Structures are given as C-alpha cells and as structure tokens.
Structure 1
Amino acid sequence: MALDTAALRRFLSSVHPYDALPEEALSGLLPAFRVQNMAAGEDIYRLGDPLEGLYLIHSGSVAVRDQNAVQISQLGPRNSFGERGLGRDGIAATSARTLEDTVLLVLPKSDFLRLVETQPEAAKFFDRSRSPRPKRPDLATSPVETLMARDPLTCGPSATVRDAAKAMAERHVSSICITDGGVLRGIATIRDLSGKVVAGALPYDTPIAQVMTPDPLSLPPSAIGSDVLHIMMERRIGHVPVCTGQTLVGIVTQTDLTRFQATSSAELVSEIAHASDAQEMARVTARIPQLLVQLVGTGNRHEVVTRLITDIADTATRRLLALAEKRLGPPPVPYLWLACGSQGRQEQTGVSDQDNCLMLDDRYSEEDAPYFKALAQFVCDGLNTCGYVYCPGDMMATSPRWRQPVSIWKTYFKGWISKPSPEAQMLASVMFDLRPIGGTASLFENLQDQTLALAAKNSIFVAHMLSNSLKHTPPLGLLRGFATIRNGEHKNTLDLKHNGVVPVVDLGRIYALQAQLNAVNTRARLEAAQAAGVLSASGGRDLLDAYDLIAETRLEHQAAQIRAGEAPNNYLAPSSLSDFERSHLRDAFVVVKSLQAAAGHGKAMLS
C-alpha cells in the first residue's frame, strides 16, 4: 500500500500527538515517514534487535511480547510502539510481530528524537516515564463511552420478529434492543431468532417481546472496556447495552473490542466463571501475583490494576454462589451477597483477605437459617481456598451478625448513626464501602440511599467519623524524614496501607458522606467530591495526585517483591527508594496530611 502526502497528512491529523503539532512542524515531518507493508505473522523486530525508529500502525494489528515471550499488548491502528527503546540505547527490550496484514509508518530514530526535543506536546506524549499516570489507548483504560456504538438498533415491544430480523439485516448488526420511551426493556440477538423463532417454529408475527431477553445486564458509560470483556467472558454473552440510568445510550459487542492488556485478566475471569469447584478456582487465582506484575510492568494506572484484580475476586464469589445453589437447591427467599473493604471499593492488590455479608429478603424466617448458614460457609470456605483468607475480625457472612434480613440491616445503620460509639464508627466505616456482588441487587438500593441521607443529616455522627478517620496518619517525621516502624518484624519500613492509602480512603469516605455520594471506589469518590463542591478543584487535584503516587508506589513495591520470589506485603523500606522517589513520596504524604488538617478544622474545601 502506498500513501501520498495528502493521505499521510490526513491520517496523522487524526493521531495524537501529531494532531497537536503546529502546521509547519507537521509538514516538515511528513517526508520522514516510511511506509512498510507486512504480511501476517512477520517479525517487525525481535528482542535485542536495533530499532529503526518509531512504529505507527496505519492498518492491521501487532502483538508486543516481553523477554519471556508473554504478550503484553495487542495494538491496532493509530497505536505507536518502540519509543521506549529509542529513548535509551536503541535496542529493543521487547519483540513485535504482526497478527494480520499490516501497514506500518516508520519514523527514523533521528527524526523521532528531533521531534521530542523540539515539540513539547510530543515529548509529553512519548516520554511516559515522566508521568506518574501514563495514559495509553487500550481496552483496560478506555471508558465504555469511547467503545460503544452510540446509535444501537431499537424497536418497540410490539414489533414482530419479522420486522426485527429485517431491521437487523438492513443494518448488518447481530442484535436489536427493545425499548419503551427510551427505556431499555430487553435485547434480542441472531441467536434468539434462530434458536427460539426458527427452531421453535414460531410465527413470524410473534411479538419480539416474547423472544427477547428481558431486563438484560447493562453498564454505564463510565465503565471501562475490561468490565465489558469480563462480563462477556463470565456470562457467555456477546452484546452489552450501555445505559444512563434506565435509558439506552449505546451498545458494545464482541466485534467492538480489541483485546489489549486486559486479555490475561479476562482469561482468568473466564476460567473461574466455568470452574467446577474451589480447588480448580484456586489454581487460577494462584496466577494473580504474576498478573499484578504484568499489569504494573506495562504501565497501567493503579485504579485499573486493582479494578482488574478485584474483578477476579468478584467472579470467584459469584461462581461459588452458583455452586452453592447447585448443591443446596434454590434459595428459600431472595438474598444479596455484598463485599466490603478493599473488594467493596474495587481496590484489591496482591494482599487481600475477605470481608463480606449477606442481606436477606424480609420474608426470611428462622426456618431459612440453615440454608443461608450453609451457603455462607460454602462461599467463605471457597474464597479462603482461593487465597482470600478468612477475615481476622470475622467480618464475614459466616457470622450470624452479618447474615440478616434487610430490616435488621436498617436497624444496624440507624443505631450506628444515632449512637456513634467507637465500635459503631469502625463498623460504619467498613459498611459504607459495601458493594453488591451476587444475588438480588434491589435489596440494597434503597438502603444505600436512605443510609447516606440519614448519616449526612447527623453532624455529630459525621464529626465522629471524621475524628475516627484521622487516627490513620501519614508517616511523616521531623526534619523532612519519614516516621518508620520502630520495632518488630517490619522495623524501619513504611506501612503503605495503613499510613499511606488508608488515610486517603478515609477522606474519600468522609467526602462521600458529606455530599451523599453513591460512589464506593476511593478515586471515584474524590472525583465526585470535586464535582459536588465538597472538595475544591485545587485541593482535589493535589489529593488525587498524592493518592496516585502512594497507591502506585505500593503496587510497584508488591510487584518487585513478587519478581524477587517473595510474598507481597505493604511494608516498604525508604532506603530502597532513590532520593528523587523519597522526596516525591514525602510530598504526597504532606498533601494528605494537609487535607486531613483541613477536614479536621471543617475546611475540606481547600482553595
């Protein structure tokens, strides 16, 4: 394939950072690019080869593999690769091979280096090592709203299957969403038409409502691409509607997805979702440490890494619930399994125990107790087998206290809020991080909103919660040093969990209470607090940057331990950091301490 100057300009103008270059700079760059046509299965370069320059994919796809031949990314059109080697010694630290017929644009090394030296926007984009939160266009980090088709095919519930099939054929799509006034009511696919209409010999004037899957699983536009992939793998579906509230705004199908860095986590999700017992699941979850190393090593942001790792725990929990029901029979009343703690916040790392509870429909009676006791024991035992060890504080559904009807849970929250004792504050802190995992989600919806409203109105309770949250302080010492652990097994280290991440988690929870925010994830809470005005724009930016640095330092520490053959933990020796790293980490702790002080004085809105 040949590209003339006009076609090359049009293409580069649609790719960042070239779209941000001054016209003169872009024009001067055009003659430097060389077009390289490659067949499927060809090596672009191998590990240790000298790199010709920067590679930009015009069409086709490329697999990049690390030194162990493990695929770390699958790149498509408009993706660049090879820049890291060019910034060092010009030697490839990875290998790259085409997966299909591919057209590459090659920018020679000298021209690439001149570009990043003279154009700040290009330097910022390609020198990702300078950024604490690298941004790459991949599935794991891409919001669903950037992946979805924004004009999904729809029809009303009364439309016939013939009309639906004709519309699908005309649009060349494999599904149709059934809506009523914009509200999603169901979805029908080619499989439904062939399996239910044709195979079932139904009349072609049958209403589509009789064939559709009612109330299908959907995601909000704010979800990420890996959420879609994981759902597809777990549920064996190929179409996921995207809704704002109940209103259909788009759809994502398997053909919309390119499996980038989330592929390995999706494989784990798929294997767990179809495992026959906890032992089989445990063989899969044993690969989580290596997944963490891969995700951290390829530059994923901390909230993406923890989200993907938590997805695996969620899938294991749902699979265990399904296996429990298969063994025990259908539940006597509806139930909802919820996670709290780091799983509830979608912030699991390489070190996680289990924190969970059961909410039961108010039709529950003591005759149903043996069933749910057995279900809780089966699931918690299975999670322990999978490496999610029993909670030391017994915050699990196996405890009768945390296995109660919704009415009792309402009593719990009301009591904690009206009488904020130290135990109540601790329990409320845990329970405000609840997130539904499996079962009847509607059991929790009203409870969450009612509890947030009740808590926000009780200034004494919020004050007690704030006071309790300030007990976790950043490890700042005198004379610009760190306050390390003084004795014991972890002497001279920093606890990056309790003195690093937890203070920010606590602040995020307080902001969520003050503004009645439904978000549970810490970063989502901080962003929502900014939007709600509980946290100012400047204070929010500082706190988010500080949180990112602390959380990423924690993950990098755990990944380094795993690579060294050690069990990961949260204890970091400052001596293992460079002067530059120590300085920035201390600055991050200072920001958190400042926000704690502002919150403690009733000034959460920093200016």
Structure 2
Amino acid sequence: MDTQIDTILAFLESVHPYDSLPRNEMARVAASFGRREYLAGDRIYEVGEPLKGLYLIKRGAVEVTDRNGVLVSILGPRNTFGERGLMRDGLAVTNAIAVEPSVVLVLPEGDWRQLIAGVPAFERFFQRGRSAEVRSSDLTTLKVTDLMARSPVSLPPEASVTEAAQLMREKHVSSVAVTREDTLLGLVTTRDLTEKVLAAELPGSTALGQVMTVDPLTLSPDALGSDILHMMLERSIGHLPVVQDGKLKGMVTQTDLTRFQAVSSAQLVRDVVACETAEEMAEVTARIPRLLQQLVAAHNAHEVVTRLITDIADTVTRRLLKLAEAQLGPAPVPYLWLACGSQGRQEQTGVSDQDNCLILDDSVTEGDRPYFKALAKFVSDGLNTAGYVYCPGDMMATAERWCQPKAVWRQYFRGWIDTPSPEAQMLASVMFDLRPIGGTTALFRELQEETLAAASKNSIFVAHMISNSLKHHPPLGLLRGFATIRSGEHKNHIDMKANGVVPVTDIGRVYALRGELTEVNTRARIEAAEDAGVVSVSGARDLIEAYDLIASLRLESQAALVKAGRKPDNFLAPSDLSDFERSHLRDAFVVVRTMQSALGQRTGALG
C-alpha cells in the first residue's frame, strides 16, 4: 500500500496544481486518491450518474463527450476531468470512456472541495478551467463578425450565370452576392443555378439579375451566433449576407458554422492521434490559426488559449515518439523527451518553433547512442514538417549537446550555477523552463528539485539571472508614448513578444528560482510566488493584471491577422488600438518596468 501511495505522490509532483502543495499536504492528498484501471472501451461514467470524485489520468487516454455524443475533449496523462459535475450537483454532465488501457486516479469529492476551499491555486485553476470550457464551445454567443467570411464573393447583376458558376468553382463557395457599388441587391446560390437555370433550361448568358433572390434576409455585424442559428433553422436557409448601412460586409453559411464547430483543440488532438505520418499531422496543425482565432473570439483567457494550443504540440510530439519507437524498436534504456521555450511553459501562440532535449538514463552505452540520435532526428524532422520549425539556435535533441545522460545534465546545471557566464545565464534561462513531454518523468523530477535548491542558494547566480532578466525592456517612450520600432518592415510597431511578454516571463522565472517553485507556466509562477511569499500580494496582482492585458492584446492581434488571411506575428501597431487600450497598455508596461526595478534594487543585481 505504501508503495502505491509513494507512486501516486511522485506522480502528483509533476501535476499542476498539486505541485503547489507543501510536501506533507501532498502526501496526505496522495493517500486519499483511489486507483482504477480501465480497458479500451470501458465506460468510466455517463451523463446523470453520480460522480465518484475528481478524476486524474495517470496513464492512457480518456474521451469525454456531451449528452448528445459530441466530442468535448480527448485527454491524456495529467489531465483532470469530472470537475464540472462536482461544481453542480455531483452528477456527471458528460460521458467519459477510456479509449486505450488507462490508469485513473480518483480524489473523493470531500477532499477535492477541501482543496478548493483552502488552497488558492486550486480555486483559480478549476474556476478558470470551467469558465473557459463553457465559453470555448459556445457558438451562440459569438458575434457574426467572428464567423463570417471577410471577403464575400460578389458580381454585378449584369454578370451571367456562367460567370457566377465559374467564380463559385474558383473560390470554392456555394453562393454569390449580387451587388452594385457594394450595395447588396440579391443573392444567387448553387441551388438557384440548379433549380432556376438548369431545370428551366435557361442559357448560360442569362443575367444574374433574372434569377437572383431579391432583397434576401440579412444580418447586421453585431448579431450573435444564436441569431444565425435561429434564422437558418426557422427559414430553412443556408446563406446569410452580413449588411451594414446597405453595404455588403460579409457572408455566413452553414459551412462556416460546421467549420467552427469542427475546429476545437479536442478535435485536433484526436486527429493527431490518428495520424501515421508527419505530413498528415501538418494537415491537422494547419488548422491551429483558425483555432486561435475562434478561441480569442470566444473571449477565452490568454493562458487557456495558449494551453490548448500547446496541448496540440504536446500530442504531436508524443505521437512522433510513438511512431519513432514503432520504426526503430523499443528504446534500449529509459529516456525523457522535454520541451523548453514557449512549449515548455505551455504558452504557444500562432507563432512557434521547436525547443527540446533528451535526458537519457545513466545506464546508456555508446552502443545505444545511434538509437537516440535516430529518435531525435525522427521527432525533430517530424515536428518541422508539422509546422514547428527547427530552432534557429539549435536548441534541439538532435544536437549531441542536448541529448545526454542524466549525470551529464546534472553537470550542465551545476556548471551554469557555479560559473554564471553570459552563455550560462542564457542556457539556464532556457533550461529552467523544461517540461516533460514523453518518456520516463522520474529522470527529471529529482534533477529539477536539486537544481532549484542549488540555484536559489547561490546568491551570485541569482543576481546574474536577475541581471539577465532585465535586458528586455517594456517599450516605454517619452511623454506617455511607446518606443516603437524605428525602421524596416515593422516600423511604428511594438514587438509584443520580445518587449511585451518576455520581460514578464523573465520575472516569473526569477520568482520560481528564488522560491524553488516547480511551476513552469509564467502566470502559474507568479501565482505560486504570491502564495509562497516570494512577491507581495499587491505586486503579484498588479503584475498578473499587466501580463494578462499584454498577452491578451498580443493574441487578439494575431487573431486579427488570421481573420484577414495573413500569417500571425508578434508585432502590434499602437495606432490600431483605441485611446483607452493604448492608455491601459502603457500602464501595464509601467507595472512591468516597476517590478523589474524592484527585482534589481532588492537583490543588487549585477549590471
């Protein structure tokens, strides 16, 4: 029995928010968990059944569907489910089925509610997760402008039906708006061409004005998704022009609604799991920008958006590892694939490269090396094919330096801590963001604990890390303005990554270092630092609010680019913001700069 509790305890140390508990409290919680095993296809619970407690996946995969059988999510190790039912009346509001042999830990409801009531990190974690789950899937509350095609296909009324048919084929659409100087006159659909032209044996030269639906039903840009659904269902129509002041602004079709409902993080994860090649995965990940746009449009918190997008990258990585082992055979010794950078912090957006490494068991021999070299190449090449391009700094498992036994990694960290050169500071900054993705997590747990302990006690190293964290400055200009980029492609823009989120990421990393905190996500680090007393309550609250605004505006800018048919980037023009937004963004940058100054002053960071 003790062995089982120790195993659960070791697992909880790698799961947020359990990793924020004091050691003795974590041990108590570990003893409260029950352990259940399921075969592929086994039902865990159904809608309306009393829940046994909060479910936590230790191994395997679980599919969650709603009462209509529509997929809600497909979950893997360290994912939690069942909390929505507990937050209501203890009855399941979804169905859960094991899709492969799985081990699930169950925390009784009483113990879970005690944690929610007594540990701030738990309350924040589950309340945010629940509200996001509701929002992200709610089509009815989205505005029409978030669903419509930005550039509707249109022709003048004199154009022929042949021209319309050819244009529809070329643009892969099922309708053409009939306009004159952007004023909507009518609508022609493929159904009109079939019933009014072909069936009536009209010539191809027939003008659209003769067969169009005059004054079709329209919507305004501020209408909601519910308005679209109700109108389409009530009137049995599949095309709705969006009109403002008589001018055509867009078009919403049943296909748009279907596409929206089909693009979810859960569906993308499920599709990745079914892929047999990296090329197939690339077809799935190509839908991520659309997912980003939808999640932002649904007003999800930025940390929820980036977490869901990162989950897809994690799934791609684990799937590639599985395919690699299928091709190369079982690994000769235990290994662990880890991600760093934005994937490690679970902060990926629409712009991501790959940063990763391998920790090998110390029993590895020179004869085993070719296997892991091939494994690293297979996975890194696959990630590149799937859209996670090679790291320009070669921070990848394919580099021999970053594919080493645990003992060598221990030497790396000790060397960086004992001799904090500029390169050591840079590497330490990257490697303090490591997060296990696939393999034997035990290879990292002890290494992480001893590294954080050693680093936090080395005042010179901490001072160097703080100094390094102050190199990225918020873009504050004179007279309440912004320091924008002065020339080049992004002239008069702000780099919302390098000068926006990175300074906060650096501060959060220092907090984690000083408090020996195992959290990797930036927001979670600040919250954990507040709970641990590393930073004042007011300072943490101010910094979180500033970070939320900066990160949210960055995502909104990326979503706007996607909506316009452009590739997302990290550059934002302050002129695109309202006066209100500009004022608050500058205030947020002031908070970040103030917190940077406080770090330097309190510790005497090296300049």
Distance in 2 (alpha carbons) for counterparts of 1:223 and 1:384: 35
Task: Describe the shift of the 1:180–1:416 C-alpha distance in structure 2 as closer, same or farther (beyond 3 A).
Answer: closer
Amino acid at match of 1:390: Y
CA distance in 2, matches of 1:290, 1:410: 41
Q: 1:260 to 1:317 in 2, by over 3 A?
A: same
The letter of the residue matching 2:105 is: P
- 1:182–1:541 CA distance, 2 compared to 1 (3 A): closer
Alignment match, 1:59: none
Letter in 2 for 1:581: E
Contact 1:485 1:494 in 2 (8 A): yes
What CA distance in whole angstroms lies between the structure 2 residues aligned with 1:352 and 1:507?
21
Q: Does residue 261 of structure 1 match 2:136?
A: yes
Deviation at 1:490, TM superposition (A): 1.4
What's 1:475 paired with? 475
TM-score by length of 2: 0.61
The structure-2 alpha-carbon separation of the partners of 1:271 and 1:190, relative to structure 1 and needing over 3 Å to count, comes to: closer
| Structure 2 residue aligned with 1:416 | 416
Alignment of 1:129-144 (within 5 A): none
- Do the aligned partners of residues 383 and 543 (structure 1) sit closer, same or farther apart at CA in structure 2, a change above 3 Å counting? same
CA distance in 2, matches of 1:553, 1:240: 38
Q: Does the Cα contact within 8 Å between 2:38 and 2:101 map onto a contact in 1?
A: no
* Deviations 1:197-225 (CA, angstroms, capped at 9, x unpaired): xxxxxxxxxxxxxxxx9977764779988
Deviation per residue, 1:426-451 (Å, 9 max, x gap): 00000000000001111101001010
CA distance in 1, matches of 2:289, 2:58: 39
CA contact (8 A) 1:186 1:215 kept: no
Deviation for aligned residue 1:347: 0.1
Where do 4+ consecutive residues of structure 1 move more than 4 Å?
A: 183-186, 188-194, 213-218, 220-225, 232-240, 247-250, 257-260
Give distance in 2, aligned partners of 1:549 and 1:323.
40
> What is the aligned partner in structure 1 of residue 284 from structure 2?
284
Change over 3 Å in CA distance of 1:490–1:243 after alignment to 2: farther
Query: In structure 2, do the counterparts of structure 1 residues 457 and 286 end up closer, same or farther at CA, with 3 Å as the change threshold?
Result: same
Q: Is the 8 A contact 2:39 2:102 kept in 1?
A: no
What is the CA distance between 1:468 and its match in structure 2? Answer: 0.4
2:354 partner letter:
Q
1:115-154 aligned at under 5 Å gives the runs none
Residue pair 2:41, 2:98 contacting (<8 A) in 1 also: no
Q: CA deviation at 1:578?
A: 1.1
Distance 2:42 2:555 in 1: 44
Distance 1:393 1:459, change over 3 A: same
Is residue 187 of structure 1 aligned with residue 37 of structure 2? Answer: yes
After TM superposition, the structure 1 = structure 2 runs for residues 330-345 of structure 1, keeping only pairs within 5 Å, are 330-345=330-345
Secondary structure of 2:398 counterpart: coil
Q: For residue 136 of structure 2, what is the amino acid of its counterpart? A: Q
Query: Judging changes above 3 Å, is the alpha-carbon distance between structure 1 residues 455 and 219 closer, same or farther for their aligned structure 2 residues?
Result: same
**2:37 aligns to what SS in structure 1?**
strand
Does the aligned pair in 2 maintain the 1:218–1:241 contact within 8 Å? no
* In 1: Cα distance, 2:43 partner to 2:477 partner: 68
Deviation at 1:188, TM superposition (A): 4.6
Partner of 1:355: 355
Distance, in Å, in 2 between the alignment partners of 1:375 and 1:234 is 29
C-alpha deviation, 1:261, in angstroms? 2.5
- Does 1:446 pair with 2:446? yes
For each residue in 1:451-485, what CA deviation from the matched residue of structure 2 results, as whole angstroms up to 9, or x when unmatched?
A: 00000000000000000010001000111110011
* Equivalent position amino acid for 2:580 in 1: F
Q: Which residue of 2 aligns with 1:556?
A: 556
Question: 1:486 offset after TM fit, Å?
Answer: 1.3
Question: Once the 2 structures are TM-superposed, how far is the Cα of residue 558 of structure 1 from its aligned partner?
Answer: 0.2
* Map of 1:388 onto structure 2: 388
CA distance in 1, matches of 2:276, 2:404: 29
Seen in structure 2, the aligned counterparts of structure 1 residues 526 and 446 have a Cα distance that, compared at 3 Å, is same
CA contact (8 A) 1:395 1:402 kept: yes
Aligned to 1:431: 431
1:596 and 2:596 matched: yes
Q: Does structure 2 conserve the Cα–Cα contact (< 8 Å) formed by 1:466 and 1:510?
A: yes
- Which residue number corresponds to residue 569 of structure 2? 569
| 1:487 positional shift | 1.6
- Distance across 2 between alignment mates of 1:380 and 1:457: 36
2:372 alignment partner in structure 1: 372
Correspondences of 1:196-345 after superposition (within 5 Å): 219=78, 236=100, 240-242=104-106, 261=136, 264-345=264-345
Q: 1:270 to 1:402 in 2, by over 3 A?
A: same
Deviation of 1:187 after TM superposition, in Å, equals 2.5
Is the contact made by 1:341 and 1:434 (CA closer than 8 Å) also made in structure 2?
yes
Q: Report Cα offsets for 1:519-558 as digits up to 9, x if no partner.
A: 0000000000001111111111100000000000000000
The answer to whether 1:405 aligns with 2:405 is: yes
Contact (CA 8 Å) 1:185, 1:214: kept in 2 or not?
Answer: no
Give the letter for the 1:475 counterpart.
Answer: P
Going from structure 1 to structure 2, the CA distance change for 1:267 and 1:191 (only over 3 Å counts) comes to: closer
Matched to 1:514, the amino acid is R
User: Is the Cα contact below 8 Å between 1:474 and 1:503 reproduced in 2?
Assistant: yes
Deviations 1:139-176 (A, max 9, x none): xxxx999xxxxxxxxxxxxxxxxxxxxxxxxxxxxxxx
| Equivalence for 1:499 | 499
CA RMSD of aligned residues (A): 3.4
- Structure 1 unmatched runs, 5+: 1-142, 146-178, 195-212
Contact 2:35–2:106, Cα closer than 8 Å, also in 1: no
Which whole-Å CA distance do the structure 2 matches of 1:372 and 1:398 have between them?
9
On the 8 A contact 2:354/2:383 being kept in 1, the answer is yes
**1:288 to 1:338, Cα distance in 2 relative to 1, 3 A:** same
1:185 Cα offset (Å) = 4.6
- The AA in structure 2 aligned to 1:599 is L
2:515 corresponding residue in structure 1: 515
Change in CA separation of 1:469 and 1:520 when aligned onto 2, cut-off 3 Å: same
CA distance in 2, matches of 1:309, 1:527: 22
Contact 1:221–1:242 (8 Å) recurs in 2:
no
Shift of 1:182: 3.9
- 1:602 counterpart SS class: helix
Identity, % of aligned positions: 63
**1:91 counterpart residue number:** none
Q: After superposition, give the CA deviation of every residue in 1:207-254 in whole Å (9 maximum; x if it has no partner).
A: xxxxxx9977764779988xxx9xx8996478843559xx9999x9xx
- Partner residue in 1 for 2:487: 487
In structure 2, how many angstroms separate the alpha carbons of the residues matched to 1:260 and 1:410?
A: 43
**1:149 alignment counterpart:** none
Q: Offset of 1:180 from its aligned partner? A: 10
Contact 1:185–1:215 under 8 Å retained in 2:
no
For 1:372 and 1:552, the matched residues in 2 are separated by 39
Change (3 A) 1:224 1:368: farther
Structure-2 separation of matches of 1:330 and 1:248: 38
Aligned length: 401
C-alpha distance in structure 1 between counterparts of 2:491 and 2:58, whole Å: 57
Q: 1:357–1:397: 8 Å Cα contact kept in structure 2?
A: yes
Is the partner of 2:358 in helix, strand or coil? strand
TM-score by length of 1: 0.61
Alignment-mate amino acid for residue 551 of structure 1: A
